[in-house]
A and B are shown apart, each in its own frame.
Chain A
Amino acid sequence: MPVQKSSQESVQEYKELLENLRSRLNVLNTSIFLLEENIPNSTFRTNKYIKQINREIKRIREMILEYPDTELNKE
C-alpha cells in the first residue's frame, strides 16, 4: 500500500535526523568535558558558565533521547 511505504520512509528519515542531532550532541558533550578539564586557574565565573552549559546540554539530551512511546523504540 503506497501510504504504508511513504510513512515508513518518513519514520526512517526522522530517525536519521534525530541520530544526526544525537551525534552532534555527543561531540559537544565530549568537547565541553575536555575544555573543563583543561581550563587552567578556573574562576568562579568560568565554573558557573560551565555548569550552565552542562545544564543546557542535559536538557537537549533529554529532548533528543526521549523517544515517543511507539514502535520507534524497538530496534
Chain B
Amino acid sequence: MQGNQGLNILLIEDELEVRESYVDMFAFLNLEVDTAENGKQGLEKLDVKHYDIIVTDLNMPEIDGLETMRRVKKKDPDIEVIVITGFATIENAVGAMKQGAFDYITKPVSLEHVKIVMNKCIQKIMARKENQTLRDTNSQLRELNELKDKFITITNHELRTPLAVLRGYFDLIEMELENSGNDELTEYASIINHTITEMMDMIESMHDLSSFKKYVSKLDRAIVDINDIVTEVTKEVRVLFENRDIQFDIHTDENTLSAFVDKKMIFKAVRELIQNALKYTDKGGAVTITAQSIPARNQIYISVKDTGIGIPLDKQEMIFEPFYEVQDVLHHSTSKTDFMGGGIGVGLSLTKEIIESNGGELVVESQPQHGSTFTIILPTVAS
C-alpha cells in the first residue's frame, strides 16, 4: 500500500490488546493510525484534529460504534467511517452502511480484507479531493475567460469610441480656450491631453493580455534628462495632492541629469512611487520629490519621500513581492489615490522590474509612523 497519502486515520477500539494488534496490522500495511479507547474519546480527538477515515468497533460500552458514527457524520459528513463487527452482528454493520458507513470489516479481521477496504476508501477520498481541485481550476479558468472577454470588449470598439469622442470634444474646448492666457487652464488642459493620449496608447498597445508583459519588457532606451521626466510626472499628479490636502514639493537639479533609459518606463516608475506615497500619506502630510546627481558615484537619485504610515523593517523586503499590500481593511477602496486605498499590490514589484531593466536600482528607507523614502538609482551618462 502507498501509505496514508496525507490522510489522517483514527482507530476506535475499547479492548487494549485488540487495539494494539490492529495498530500493528495497519503498520504492516504501511498505514499510520491514531487510536482512541472508546467513542467518547474518539469524538474528543476529532475536536482537536481532522480525520479523513475513522475505523471503529461497533460493539463498545457507553457510546457504541453506530452512535459514534452518527456523531462523526454530524460533525463532518465527508469523514469516511469503516465499522468492525463480529459475524453475529453483521446486520448491525449493514445497518451502519445504510446510515453512511463506507464499509464493514468482520472479526476475526483478515489482513487482506482490511487492505482491500482501506485501499478503496483512500482512493475514494483522493478522487474526491482531485475533483475539488479540478472544480477550482475550472472556476479560475471561467473567471479568466470572463475577464478576457471583458478586456477584449473594453480594449476594442467600446472603449476606443468614447475616448475618441472625448478627444474630439476636448480639442474643441482647447480651441475655445486658446487665447485665454490663463496658466492654470493651460496646465489642466495639458494634463487632460496627456492622459487621454496615454489611455488611447494603452488600449492600442495592450490589445491582448500577453502584450501587457511585452509593454513592460520591450525597452526603447535613449539619453534623457531625468529632470524632464520628474517635472512631467509631477505636473500630472499635483492635482491629486491638492485634492487630498497633502503638501507636495519638487526639487530638480539645476544641471542636466542624463540617463540612458526608456523614458516612458521611468515615467511610469516615478508615477507609481508618487501614487504610492499619496496612498499611504494622510491628509495634512507631505510628499517631496527630489532629482539629483551624485557625481562621486556617477549616479542619479530620484527620491520620493513621504510622511506617511511607514513600513515595518521585517516587511521592507516583502513590499517588492507581487501582490503584497500594506492595507487597512477598514479603509479599503478600489482607489489608488485615496488614503490606504486598496489595490492588487503589483505596483512596486513592477516598478522594481522596470528600474532594474533600465540598469537601475530601487531602495527604500522607512520607519513605521515616520514615513518612507523610495529612491530610484540610475547610472549617469556623460552628456
Seen from chain A, the residues whose Cβ lies within 8 Å of a Cβ on chain B are 1, 3-4, 7-8, 10-28, 30-32, 34-35, 38-40, 43, 45-46, 49-50, 52-53, 56-57, 59-60, 63-72, 75
Pick from A14, A27, A59, A66: contact of B237, CB under 8 Å: A27
Give me 21 A-to-B residue pairs in the complex whose CB atoms sit less than 8 angstroms apart, sorted by A's number: A4-B136, A10-B209, A11-B144, A12-B323, A14-B150, A17-B151, A26-B240, A27-B240, A30-B243, A38-B182, A38-B184, A38-B185, A39-B177, A45-B176, A46-B173, A49-B169, A49-B173, A53-B170, A68-B143, A68-B149, A70-B142
Which DSSP category, helix, strand, loop or mixed, fits chain A's interface?
Answer: helix
Complex contact B336–A19 (CB within 8 A): yes
When C-beta atoms are compared, the residue in chain A nearest to B173 turns out to be A49
- What's the tally of chain B residues with a CB closer than 8 Å to chain A? 65
When C-beta atoms are compared, the residue in chain A nearest to B275 turns out to be A23
Complex contact B147–A19 (CB within 8 A): no
Q: Tell me, in angstroms, the Cα distance from A20 to B176 when the chains sit together.
A: 31
Q: Is B89 an interface residue (CB 8 A)?
A: no
Complex contact B158–A10 (CB within 8 A): no
Complex contact A68–B343 (CB within 8 A): no
Complex contact A64–B154 (CB within 8 A): yes
Cβ of A13: which chain B residues have Cβ within 8 Å of it? 209, 212-213
Complex contact B202–A21 (CB within 8 A): yes
Q: Tell me, in angstroms, the Cα distance from A59 to B163 when the chains sit together.
A: 10
Cβ of A14: which chain B residues have Cβ within 8 Å of it? 144, 147-148, 150-151, 209
Given A35-B192, A53-B166, A53-B169, CB of A21 within 8 Å of CB of B199: yes
